[in-house]
Amino acid sequence: MRPCDVAPPRVVAVDEHVIEVRGLVKRYPDITAVDGIDFDVSRGQVFSLLGPNGAGKTTTVEILEGLRDPTAGEARVLGQDVRSGYRRIRERVGVLPQDFEPFDRLRPREAVTYWARLFDHDVSEEAVASIIETVGLSNRADTFALNLSGGEKRRLGIAMALVGQPDLLFLDEPTTGLDPGARRELWTLIGDLKRKGRTILLTTHYLDEAEQLADDVAIMNHGKIVAHGSPSALISQFGGGTTIVLAGAGRGGSEALMARGIAAELHGADLFVHVPMAGQVRPMLAKLASIEIPLSEIYTKRSTLEDVFLKLVGARMEEGVLAA
């Protein structure tokens, strides 16, 4: 048993893989939810599993949490095999499950104390207050969870996941269903945890969330990882460089560019000109300026994970659902 607020430091190699996954498969009679995936998560990293609903993200996370048994493959968390060592794993991880709901008639202060005791941690009032302060719920610490907002409930979930100073945090779609303001606030909180050196496995279907928070992203679709790397590496590999947008140029502009041998895509009334290499942006801008095209505005747009996703999966994603 150890006090929550004076957890002993753990000696871990800087490059230690906190999670190692090799050939992981989870098969059901009617579907293969996880289809032979491999990835590693290093200590201190925010690793994001990104993909639409049904891609296999939550199944993967629940296997790593010891809540589901894999069909095949290997998965190790904090050096422990998920099949045989899940009791030891759960002592060292914090979990915010998908669609987390708190116990309605417990106050955040009581819920955090309760949760700490379920991990055999003796928590002082100060330690509980400190955890609640970390997630920004100090002024709501004595409000029944029933009366918290959606964002506050997720913060409470993160507070419960933080009891006992876990070596690894699993945050399964922490911002799904929240309004934009609450999502931003949670991003700030997760960013703070990242700066404090927490290792976090984050699943999300929000591309901007992964781009904003993750050091490493694995894009999942149909149970497979279709791309894996840092957001910037993925963008430079698959994002297609920079896009020059000729707002309002329309079909007339498109024909004028085609006459000069410049490829462009028409999106509504706007023309998109893709420039793969950063060094080609200035010359292309100069070239476009020399062509008489009626337009309302011209600007450049750096590729995002959205472009990467579109290219790799072949569809855009809206609220976790692939758009045709």
265-285 burial: b if 16+ Cβ within 10 Å, else e: eeeeebbbbbbeeeeebeebe
Give 160 or 256: the residue with its C-beta nearer to other proteins: 160
Sign of the Cα pseudo-torsion (101, 106, 107, 112, in order): negative
For residues 135 and 185, give the distance between their C-alpha atoms in angstroms, rounded to a whole number: 10
Q: What is the largest CA-CA distance in the chain?
A: 76
Instruction: Give the tokens for residue 60.
Output: 């993967």
91 versus 215: smaller Cβ distance to other proteins: 91
Instruction: Provide, rounded to whole angstroms, the least separation between the CB of residue 24 and other proteins.
Output: 15
| By CB under 8 A, residue 67 contacts other proteins | yes
Pick one of 72, 83, 120, 142: the residue that binds other proteins (CB under 8 A).
Answer: 120
The per-residue DSSP string of 234-269 comes to HHHHHS-SEEEEEET-HHHHHHHHHHTT---EEETT
Member of 27, 68, 274, 311 binding other proteins (CB under 8 A): 68
Considering the complex, state which of residue 172 and residue 307 has its C-beta at the smaller distance from other proteins: 172
Burial class (CB in 10 A: 0-12, 13-18, 19+), 296: exposed
**Nearer of residues 32 and 304 to other proteins, judged by Cβ:** 32
243, 301 Cβ separation under 8 angstroms? yes
CB nearer other proteins, residue 95 or residue 207: 95
Least Å distance, CB 134 to other proteins, is: 19
Minimum separation from the CB atom of position 170 to other proteins (A) = 8
Buried b (16+ CB within 10 A) or exposed e, 55-69: bbbbbbbbbbbbebe
Which residue reads 């010359």 in tokens?
283
Task: Quickly tell me which residue has 């417990």 as its tokens.
Answer: 106
Task: Considering only residues 90 through 119, tell me which ones interact with other proteins, judged by CB under 8 A.
Answer: 90-91, 93, 95, 97-101, 103-106, 110-111, 113-115, 117-119
Name the residue nearer to other proteins (CB basis): 97 or 231. Answer: 97
Q: Are the C-beta atoms of residues 110 and 116 closer than 8 Å to each other?
A: no
Residue type, 33: A
Closer to other proteins at the Cβ: 20 or 91? Answer: 91
Minimum CB separation of residue 60 from other proteins in Å reads: 12
CB of 135 vs other proteins, minimal distance in Å: 17
In the complex, the smallest distance separating the C-beta of residue 311 from other proteins, rounded to whole angstroms, is 33
- Helix or strand (DSSP H, E) at 281: helix 281-289
Q: In angstroms, what is the minimal distance from the CB of 77 to other proteins?
A: 12
CA distance 278 to 232: 14
Q: Which residues from 19-38 bind other proteins, rule CB under 8 A?
A: 28
Residue 5 or residue 215: which is nearer to other proteins going by CB? 5
Q: How many residues bind other proteins (CB under 8 A)?
A: 31
Q: Which residues bind other proteins (CB under 8 A)?
A: 28, 62, 65-69, 87, 90-91, 93, 95, 97-101, 103-106, 110-111, 113-115, 117-120, 144
